[in-house]
Every structure is written in structure tokens, then in C-alpha cells.
Amino acid sequence: MIKVFIIDDSMMVRNAIIKMLKGVEGIKIIGEAPNPIDAFDVFRKVGLPDVFILDIEMPKMDGLTFLKQIKEQKPIPVIICSTLVREGSTEAIDALRYGAVDIVLKPKINVREYFEEEKENFINSIKAAAISSIHYSPNVLTKETTQENVKEGKPSKQIIAIGSSTGGVQVLEEIVTNLKPNHPGIVITQHMPEGFTNSFAKRLNTITNSFIVEAKDGEVICDNKIIIARGGVHMEVTESDGVYKTILKDFPKVNQHKPSVNVLFNSIARIKGIDATAFILTGMGDDGATGLKKLKELELNTYGQNKQTCIVYGMPNVANQIGAVKEELSTFSIIKKINELTQG
């Protein structure tokens, strides 16, 4: 039984979540509170949960402060539920960087209807959080680079493709901040809400030496450049006259996601003679597994993040089980592998 505690200053939201999860097998709401300070009083009666559902903007104590405190004292998986998610705010990004497992949108209107529509996704997030391995680091990166000196290189002759989901923000940040300059062009599909990926790209640009952008149609894949799939739309890779570019396509979810990792990997598999290396990272579910297998069948190098360093060993596990993974690697070894592909 997964014990869940809700901390949100909106009674309407708390009640809507409680109603949504009522009767769901394997999940039990053990308590709720309008802010973290009041929640501490409830903890003394009901104990601590397996998963927190946490708002960011609240009176008495904000969600980020509570998140940092709980991670330092007793790491418990946290799902952020906030209106700030829609805007892709820095607070929402920082919540993931401080160890939140997932983020979901809290609507401003039609609250009950929204949560009923998103019931399956919300339940999946709770289940993923409950089995996650919390990798909390109190020393979140705060260095800044001067982006005036960071530029994209020549159009890439080889491509690195990365797919990730739950826990991916933390792992991706660790990877991209440790890459050598002039690495091959990288395309990333990370499961994120619409409006969030642009802020994520901007955030990474302040702490890396790579040129990082949110994907758009016709974005040329260049050395020292990282392109992140835009939330709410699929990203594919295409080739024209030896130049690789991204294209965006708005069609239904694939493997319950949009953008989908399988869509990215499958598009690369269709390009004749492409030199590509693919990685599938932490995440719940099976998105990316079959696409990765197609790349492996083309004798391209395919890697999965190992269980020891995954926050949720789901997507890499499925990929490994179906024979899509050439080798499982730690986060450190993934960084090393990419750096080995870097020229100069």
C-alpha cells in the first residue's frame, strides 16, 4: 500500500485529489494539510508517507523550502503539483533539481474535471515515485557560464540521442555539465509538460559549456549543441544534403507520451547510413525501448542507464529485457562514453 500525503493551500485541489484517488487499489491518502508547517502536526498522528504531493506556493513555508528540509532529514519521494508548471518557472525546475521525482500541472479552473481526466497519469506518477531511488544532493550546481562565449559548432556528422523520463532532469543536468567542449550534436527527449522545456534549456545554458536550445522546426544539429524536445509535441530527426535537422510533429501520444522517445529513436532509424549513438535513461514505463532496439538492429551503439544510478529503473529495464541495449552504464560511464566521441 502506497501511503500518500497532500500539502496544498487549496482545499479544492486537496479534495479533488482525494476524490480522484479514492478507491484506487494500492494507494491510500493518510493525510492532508494547507502548508508544510501544519503538515508537521499531522505527521505526529499519522506518521510519514511513502509519497508527498506538494504545491510550491504556500503560506508559512513554501514547497521548495520544505522539499530541501525533507530531503536532508529523511528522503521521501515528492511529486510537485503546481500552477507554476504551466509557465515552466524556475521554481518548478529547481524542485526537480532538488530531488522531486515528477511534476504535474495544477489547473486554475475546472479542477475536479482536470484531475479526473488526468487520473491515469497521476496514478502512474505516484507509483513511479513510490519505487524511485532518491538521489538527493544538497550541493545543487549554481555556477554560471558566459553564454556569449558558448557557440554551436559545425553541422554534426554523428548524433547522440537521449531519452529519459522520471528523474531525468537530475541525471541530464549531471551529464551535460560534465561534457567536453565540441561534443557531437545531442538531441534529447525528456518527458516534460508543455511550457517547461524552454525554461529547462535556459537553465542548463547557465551551468554548461554547451549551446542548448528547445527544439524547433529546421533546427540544425551541430557539434557542441544540445537540442531538447519541446513539451507537448513530438520531435524527429531528418536529413537533407548531409545535414541533420529536427522537425516537430503534432500527432497523438505514443507510449502515453508527447514528446515520445520512441518517436525520436524511430526517426533516426529511418535515416540511411546515419552515425548515431543512443542512450535510454531513468524513467517509468517502456517508452523508447522498441525504438532503441531498431537502432541496435542497425548495428548502432545503444546504451541503457544501469539500475544502480537510475531514479526509476523502468525504461532502461524494459529496453534491456527486449535486447535493445548493447551495454548498461552508470551515469559516470555515460558521461565518459559521450566524451570519448568528442573530437579534439
Q: Which tens digits make up the pLDDT trace of 111-155? A: 888 888 889 889 988 998 998 886 545 444 444 444 556 778 899
Query: Among residues 191, 234, 267, 286, which one is catalytic?
Result: 191
Per-residue confidence (pLDDT) for residue 270, from 0 to 100: 98
Q: What pLDDT shows up at residue 147?
A: 53
Is 62 noted as a catalytic residue in this protein?
no
Q: How many CA atoms lie within 13 A of 115 on its CB side?
A: 19
Mean pLDDT computed over 160-174:
93
More confident residue, 207 or 320: 320
Catalytic (active site) residue 241: no
Q: What is the pLDDT of residue 339?
A: 96
Average pLDDT, the chain: 90
Q: CATH 3.40.50.180 in the chain, residues?
A: 150-340
Q: Over range 279-284, report the average pLDDT.
A: 95
Check residue 150 and give its pLDDT: 74
pLDDT value of residue 140: 45
Give pLDDT, residue 87: 56
In the chain, ranges of CATH 3.40.50.2300 domains = 2-130
**Of 196 and 190, which is predicted with more confidence?**
190
Residue 245's pLDDT is what? 98
CATH of 150-340, one of 1.10.630.10, 1.10.760.10, 2.102.10.10, 3.40.50.180: 3.40.50.180
For 219-249, write each residue's pLDDT tens digit.
999 999 999 999 999 999 999 999 999 999 9
Instruction: Give CATH superfamily name and number for 2-130.
Output: Response regulator (3.40.50.2300)
Q: What phi and psi, each to the nearest 5 degrees, are found at residue 127?
A: -65, -40
Give the residue from 197, 229, 189, 227 showing the smallest Cα distance to 210: 227
Percent of the chain with pLDDT over 70: 93
Catalytic pick among 125, 164, 165, 260: 165
Global pTM exceeds 0.85: yes
Q: From the candidates 8, 50, 55, 287, which is the catalytic residue?
A: 287
pLDDT of the residue at 327: 98
Q: How many residues does the chain have?
A: 344
Dihedral (Cα; 62, 166, 229, 296), 10-degree rounding: 170
Residue 92 has pLDDT above 80, yes or no: no
Active site residue 287: yes
